[in-house]
Structure 1
Amino acid sequence: MSCVPWKGDKAKSESVELPQAAPPQIYHEKQRRELCALHALNNVFQDSNAFTRETLQEIFQRLSPNTMVTPHKKSMLGNGNYDVNVIMAALQTKGYEAVWWDKRRDVSAIALTNVMGFIMNLPSSLCWGPLKLPLKRQHWICVREVGGAYYNLDSKLKMPEWIGGESELRKFLKHHLRGKNCELLLVVPEEVEAHQSWRADVFTRSNQRYSFLGKEELDRGSAGVHCCCDSPGDAASTSPFLATSGSEDLVHAKPTRLA
């Protein structure tokens, strides 16, 4: 049975427009050349001026002073951009740290309220103009919360991809972490890493919550990558991101130990 209004009852059939909340302003930096690490960082901070190609190149040269080749010319089938060490050092300048997520753990153990955003490294199809090639290489993407919802801010997307709330985000992360060659970094303020309050169990005990992108956080500067399964007294372990400087998957990455 259809819900067609009665003739002559036009006034009652007119729809009433209810006020709607304005959509959130989302900064989404799109793919340009092979700068996916730059785009992921700027999308995490929701700021087009957070980092530039020049600042990342300076960090790269500082970490690898003897190299004469830029990461964009290193290898077509490498990770396509700066490696995790450059991302770590870039986060350091903003007072944030990167926590490598151990895929053996369930993502329900992440205290989402204390995580500013996520940077993922995953396989992505190569494109030549409008053509998609039957090849894949590693690609950096950003996922973060804006206006109460989580979005996939992959620079290769035409527009931000709505994920949903916390439960949908956890499903999204689980789906990708089941795949091959996918790694996850949690971007957190240095105090969060110091107290390990990105862990749900620690967050519940301490009840510490942080606001992101405030001036205090942007003025601080210290970063590192730590394995999510380590406690302060555990023996050091190595992140799967890190390799010797000759690796095809990473650009001049020096062996690094995790705290």
Structure 2
Amino acid sequence: MDSIFHEKQEGSLCAQHCLNNLLQGEYFTPVDLSSIAHQLDEEERMRMAEGGMASEEYRTFLQQPSGNMDDSGFFSIQVISNALRVWGLELILFNSREYQSLMINPINEKAFICNYKEHWFTIRKLGQQFIKTRFYKISKRTDIFTVIFAILYLVNLVK
């Protein structure tokens, strides 16, 4: 790979940039992710309606804003997970029982999607190193980690 793909973040669209960095290309737009979020919202609405459309819970649910996206452009983990499925990729939470039961060795993984203080970013393996691209409104930055440092970084991020 001659270069590392990374986009400058606009607004709070870190989920879009996180996914595109993972895939190393411009594959997702805000419209794509909004469409996934709306689909998830509709599925949630239908599940809530099963309990009765006249129920207090259902009426309260309808008054709530989307849990899958907000007006700033922030998207939920569910949106990211569904977007990855389009590519045949599965998101497994690092601190989940499923991850631990699979006894996955982080060194063998190709990428991690992280969230720190409501900001999504990717740590991706390229060759024998991991890269983390970060986006700010005024600059973009790429950090290159050794495998061991990347694992230590992830462990500390989870704490």
> Under a length normalisation based on structure 2, what TM-score does the superposition of the two structures give?
0.71
Amino acid at match of 1:155: F
User: Is 1:175 the counterpart of 2:156 in the alignment?
Assistant: yes
Alpha-carbon RMSD across the aligned residues, in angstroms, is 2.7
Aligned to 1:150: 130
Structure 1 runs (4+) deviating above 4 angstroms are 66-70
Shift of residue 167, structure 1, vs aligned partner? 1.0
State how far apart, in whole Å, the 2-side matches of 1:58 and 1:99 are. Answer: 22
Aligned residues: 132
Percent of aligned pairs sharing the same letter = 27
Aligned to 1:120: 114
Q: Which runs of 5+ in 2 are unaligned?
A: 46-61
The residue correspondences of 1:16-27 to structure 2 (distance < 5 A) are 24-27=2-5
Q: Which runs of 5+ in 1 are unaligned?
A: 1-22, 124-137, 179-259
User: Is 1:61 the counterpart of 2:27 in the alignment?
Assistant: no
In 2 relative to 1, CA 168–24 (structure 1 residues): closer, same or farther, beyond 3 Å? farther
Shift of residue 171, structure 1, vs aligned partner? 1.4
Aligned to 1:90: 83
Shift of residue 148, structure 1, vs aligned partner? 2.6
Secondary structure at the counterpart of residue 174 of structure 1: helix
Aligned to 2:7: 29
Is the CA contact 1:56–1:90 (under 8 Å) kept in the aligned structure 2? Answer: yes
Q: List per-residue Cα deviations over 1:133-161 (Å, max 9, x = no partner).
A: xxxxx111111012431111123362211
Instruction: Choose 1 or 2 for highest CA Rg.
Output: 1
Which residue of the other structure, out of 133, 137, 147, is the alignment partner of 1:166?
147
Aligned to 2:105: 110
Amino acid at match of 2:15: A
Amino acid at match of 2:156: H
State how far apart, in whole Å, the 1-side matches of 2:154 and 2:2 are. Answer: 22
Shift of residue 88, structure 1, vs aligned partner? 0.9
Secondary structure at the counterpart of residue 60 of structure 1: helix
Amino acid at match of 1:169: A
Amino acid at match of 1:96: L
Q: Which one has the bigger helix percentage?
A: 2
> Under a length normalisation based on structure 1, what TM-score does the superposition of the two structures give?
0.45
The residue correspondences of 1:36-55 to structure 2 (distance < 5 A) are 36-48=14-26, 50-55=27-32
